Amino acid sequence: MAEAALDDLIEALRRLPGVGAKSAQRMAFHLLQHDRDGARRLAQALQQAVQRMHHCARCHTFTEAEVCATCRDPQRDARLLCVVETPADQAALERSGSFKGLYFVLMGRLSPLDGVGLADIGASQLLQRAADGGVQEVILATGFSAEGEATAHALGEALRTRGLKVTRLARGVPVGSELEYVDLGTIAHALADRR
Amino acid sequence: MAEAALDDLIEALRRLPGVGAKSAQRMAFHLLQHDRDGARRLAQALQQAVQRMHHCARCHTFTEAEVCATCRDPQRDARLLCVVETPADQAALERSGSFKGLYFVLMGRLSPLDGVGLADIGASQLLQRAADGGVQEVILATGFSAEGEATAHALGEALRTRGLKVTRLARGVPVGSELEYVDLGTIAHALADRR
């Protein structure tokens, strides 16, 4: 089409995860044709977020403040530190309403194939954070994918050598599921970890 | 998470077509964690596009100029006017390399259920454009969906009553396909329109 502003927009939208050439084109046409106000708001939101959001000095999640609201909350139990991969995982744990401790957000997980090593997930910050004297137990709540398990294993080793108590979320049959439809690996774990 | 700048960004991303709550969150985290440069570029591209792109005075597609490059091209055959739904459809026709006339881009199609009527697809601009004296044939190249067909029908009627020659893209068996796998409606049309 040789319209620079339109091509630039489509190119910029393609950098979003999960957006290919066709989707980017559709998004650009939609914004220009039906939602110019939405385009302006998105531009502003992007600028504001890039400018204001940085990492919490204690738990590494995104925050506008020096230390995030969760870390500042005096009601939380500072003896428990839960390690999660992403802010979305943290939000899921919060929604469950069953954890009142503090968090450390890795903002990723070990993935040697993608070149993501211990330094990229803030392992040294985690070790420093966990050794602040107040933490009595570190709960590894990374995912149960291969990469999440590898991350939990590597971090667990490092934390244990510093004398910290380390636990992992339980594996087992999800609430509400019929055994018949649960995968075999999960059933094997649920049997092994029976209580 | 109660972080205003992050929530605003997720909310703004959700307004993109095909982006739900989870995708918007993933996009926001990705941009903030891995691609702040991409976020800045997207913000700028959005602002530039909203500011610069408007509709071509002749064919109604998006352009930065008063009249788009295609409409300005003296090499194009001004006797043929091809009506398409979107700039993407126009681009597909251009890629085929088999049309040298001019275009009119509806920027949509009739869809009574969504409240899209003749005025929303610029029907009166099309009638005016087609009646400029130079156009000898209007080719309706809207899609072959129910809505595309309804659009072609309505526009065809209006154009014919003004004494214009109106044609429609041929329906038939796609190039490279085995008859066995072609749907019955297409086969029926290919038989009826045999040549």
What residues of chain B lie within 8 A of the CB of A67, using their CB? none
Tell me what percent of chain B is helix, strand and coil, each rounded to the nearest 5: 50, 15, 35
- Residue B73 buriedness (CB in 10 A; 0-12 / 13-18 / 19+): exposed
Question: What predicted TM-score, i.e. pTM, was given to this entire model?
Answer: 0.82
Give how far B188 is from chain A: nearest CA, Å. 31
Interface residue B72 vs chain A (CB under 8 A): no
Q: How far is A134 from chain B (nearest CA, A)?
A: 24
Question: What sign does the CA torsion over A122, A124, A125, A127 have?
Answer: positive
| A62·B3 Cβ contact <8 A | yes
Chain B CA closest to residue A92: B1
pLDDT at B17: 94
Q: For residues A127 and A155, is the Cβ–Cβ distance under 8 A? A: no
* Chain A CA closest to residue B26: A17
Q: What is the ipTM of this complex?
A: 0.85
Residue among B29, B36, B45 minimizing CB distance to A8 = B45
CB contact under 8 A, A49 and B33: no
CB of B82 closer than 8 Å to CB of B101: yes
Identify the DSSP state of B100: -
Across residues B57-70, what is the average pLDDT? 93
Average pLDDT over residues B25-53: 95
Intervals of chain A under pLDDT 50: 1
**How many interface pairs between A and B have CB atoms less than 8 angstroms apart?**
165
**Is B31 in contact with A50 (Cβ distance < 8 A)?**
yes
A188 touches chain B (CB under 8 A): no
Percent of chain B with pLDDT over 90: 75
| Tokens encoding B184 | 């019955």
Distance CA A32, CA B7 (A): 23
Q: Is the pLDDT of residue B64 over 90?
A: yes
What pLDDT sits at residue B194? 84
Q: State whether residue A72 sits within 8 Å of chain B by CB.
A: no
pLDDT score of A78 = 94
Q: How far is B55 from chain A (nearest CA, A)?
A: 9
d(CA B179, CA B188): 11
CB atoms A88 and B38 under 8 Å: no
Interface of A with B in 116-175 (CB under 8 A): none
Please check whether residue B3 is in contact with residue A53, taking contact to mean a CB–CB distance below 8 angstroms: yes
Residue B112 is predicted with a pLDDT of 87
Q: How far is CA A166 from CA A94, A98, A147, A171, in A?
A: 20, 18, 18, 16
